[in-house]
Structure 1
């Protein structure tokens, strides 16, 4: 079974039945070489049309997508990765590593010259998430320490909410910008800077944690971080209740 027994035991009977059927279908194709990834994608996508789908299934599916891609198939491969990431995100599953999926392009040139160059693909495409763990952390860090990577270009939006790289982002922004940050952006940054550490200090208490998230005064920041946490703990009833109350209050029904 792909999900843990502990998770399975907490599920209601009708959901267990759905999981049982899903697991049987996956088991039938698990050891098949006949387009396994495509069949897995179809099965899990179909399941996700009816049930909230745990992150373990999305991770399993993405792991089965071949990371050695033929040159003519790159566009199709990227489309598949984006499709999985988009659907998984709708099911509260955000995987940080999917911002930089490591892959190789297979071609005659690579075989002849033994080219071992690797590439990175962001499966979240243009979806910008205001996360405490900072969505673009991989590119920000790699750009600083690896000459083969372009330095991440910090934008003003990276300075408007608390996250793990906030202070470093401001330093980069000042260094690369042709003008000093606006008074409005500077004020916003100064307000956000101490909030990150305050939020981290109470992350074991969801009520206090959510109260501090609300201090950011940004609906998307709250949505992105709460859903990220819920995706890792679908049975956190207290957080679900707090979150649904928040959504109702702000008219975020979708």
Structure 2
């Protein structure tokens, strides 16, 4: 028998009987004298025919895929969609789903809002700033195991300062993820915590994924069915109820409840071959049962995406500015002029944005362009929101003057940028508070790198392929760099110098213990205390690495 004895014993007698029938069919196929390709087709046909009448466990879908050829993508896609309809999702089959909806990535992968994000999105290098596809706002809108890495990746690639609302959502999801993981063994508490996310798709994906791993979790089935009903997702509610009744065949009480609910919230078109009498739709407009498969949750996706897009397109209320101007005169401030100028002089980039957007007077007094992302491009130079892209031949004097870099700096080696590009640009900057810095094939003085990182808020630093030297053209000491990196999460370095006290100096520096990636191309200099260096690494790295 393909199923474990433990699972089989937990099934109701009626379901055990039909499992016995399926096992008998499969056994006869194995014992037949047919050649292997024919046997494989017969196994697939037996399982797929069975799935037209009942929900079947994941082991049979795995067997079905094992007996499929990856060259027959159409057949394989049919099997995988059938498995997903039976609540079994295998991340290795993701690319074969190809379920059309507005939330589908160009890579062909179906997007799932899973707690186990890294596993289910094929992102083993999620910590890397070079991850493709890029993390988006959607990736940080729900709790998962790579939330912090996704936010760092999104923050690095975004063209503008993330909104306060988005950052608040991210912080809330981090806390909620920890709570959900702690409550995994208590299914009711786990389910209630999922609801706190306020995302129907997230609840659906995670509950159905968990049910697919243990179909006989009747408590979770009932929690999910009640939730769908109470939240008004009636089409999905009736579909899931129909699946429950084709698994727990002896639960007559639930079947009667299903009948009553179908009468109240129906009709619904279902793909089953063994429809109950009360499930048969007599409406002449609903003759094709295939039109409903996968449709209800696609509608959910489109509805939620529409709401998300609507929020993103909120327009500025022009009334915000109506009191700031008085014909041709400069604005009259309620605050004394010396005080408002003091605020302007000492404002951080967030306050400067608000001042500049409220009145042109502030920018006239302090003409400091704010750039969230400074990057390079192979073919064209352009502005996009707060992103400035330059090519190797860009006139820096024209594009860069007293600029304030606040988000990220990326000098890409593939864009034919000369080695002194950034070194020539730095004198034209007012300040740099970039959290993400990737410098490829650049030659800098340590004092120039220090200008970029001395604010202490650097999260990503990759200078692996660059050359950094001090004013004497010598390598700089490791501890001279790390004293500015208390918040570092991704660190990739080139050649460094050490001395006998380097490890001790590192141990005594402050780190927030959030480092997820660390690489040094080479170390030169005097030997240092290995035990102290290991202590430094223990302090820096996250506990789960």
Match of 2:97 in 1: 124
Q: 1:197 to 1:63 in 2, by over 3 A?
A: same
User: Structure 1: how far apart are the matches of 2:117 and 2:220?
Assistant: 22
1:142 is displaced (CA, Å) by: 4.9
SS across alignment from 1:30: helix
1:86 is the counterpart of 2:81:
yes
Instruction: Choose between structure 1 and 2: higher helix proportion.
Output: 1
Contact 2:126/2:149 (<8 A) preserved: no
Contact 2:118/2:124 (<8 A) preserved: no
| Deviating more after overlay: 169-178 vs 53-62 | 169-178
Match of 1:201 in 2: 182
Which of 95, 98, 103 is equivalent to 2:93? 98
Match of 1:210 in 2: 191
1:2 is the counterpart of 2:24:
no
Number of residue pairs matched by the alignment: 221
Contact 2:65/2:79 (<8 A) preserved: yes
Which of 204, 209, 212 is equivalent to 1:223? 204
Contact 2:118/2:146 (<8 A) preserved: no
Q: 1:37 to 1:181 in 2, by over 3 A?
A: farther
Match of 1:65 in 2: 68
- Structure 2 length-normalised TM: 0.38
Match of 2:21 in 1: 21
Which of 42, 45, 64 is equivalent to 1:42? 45
| Deviating more after overlay: 30-39 vs 43-52 | 30-39
User: Structure 1: how far apart are the matches of 2:120 and 2:152?
Assistant: 15
User: Structure 2: how far apart are the matches of 1:201 and 1:183?
Assistant: 28
Q: 1:187 to 1:81 in 2, by over 3 A?
A: farther
User: Structure 2: how far apart are the matches of 1:130 and 1:140?
Assistant: 14
- Offset from partner CA, 1:67-106 (integer Å, 9 cap, x none): 4x4xxxxxxx22222222211111111112223xxxxxxx
User: Structure 2: how far apart are the matches of 1:212 and 1:168?
Assistant: 22
SS across alignment from 2:36: coil
Q: 1:37 to 1:154 in 2, by over 3 A?
A: farther
Q: 1:135 to 1:57 in 2, by over 3 A?
A: farther
Q: 1:128 to 1:5 in 2, by over 3 A?
A: same
Contact 1:142/1:151 (<8 A) preserved: no
Q: 1:80 to 1:186 in 2, by over 3 A?
A: farther
1:136 is displaced (CA, Å) by: 6.0
1:59 is displaced (CA, Å) by: 1.2
Q: 1:143 to 1:171 in 2, by over 3 A?
A: closer
Structure 1 residues not aligned, in runs of 5+:
70-76, 100-121
1:167 is displaced (CA, Å) by: 0.8
Higher relative contact order, structure no. (Cα contacts within 8 Å, ≥ 6 residues apart): 1
User: Structure 1: how far apart are the matches of 2:125 and 2:75?
Assistant: 25
In our comparison, the structure showing a higher alpha carbon Rg is 2
SS across alignment from 1:140: coil
Report the RMSD for the aligned CA atoms in angstroms: 2.3
